[in-house]
Amino acid sequence: MIQPNKSLTFTFNGESFGAIPGQTIAAALLQAERTTLRTTRFNDEPRSIFCGIGICWDCVVTVNGVSNQRSCLIEVSDGMVVKS
């Protein structure tokens, strides 16, 4: 199996991950088996990618200090800081 060149690095809740250029935050995290991107305000239930095309907002995260960013739409950039 060919291993993709993960030339980009970013952090998610303080943990480092690699990403392929052009890969979205959500795709990179799912590939690393991190399926919980956030939790709900009430009941603290886990949420992950649902639609994958920017419609449902289940995948929102904070990116470089900017909240409510849809991780399924934003490509990873080197050094990006992502939080739930």
Which residues bind to ligand FES, rule: CB under 6 A?
49-52, 54-59, 70, 72
Give the residue closest to ligand FES by C-beta: 72
Q: From residue 23, how far is each of 41, 58, 62, 84 by CA, in Å?
A: 28, 18, 17, 18
Question: Of 4 and 54, which CB lies nearer to ligand FES in the complex structure?
Answer: 54
- CB of 64 vs ligand FES, minimal distance in Å: 18
Which CB atom, from 2 or from 36, has the smaller least distance to ligand FES?
Answer: 36
Q: Which helix (H) or strand (E) element contains residue 8?
A: strand 8-12
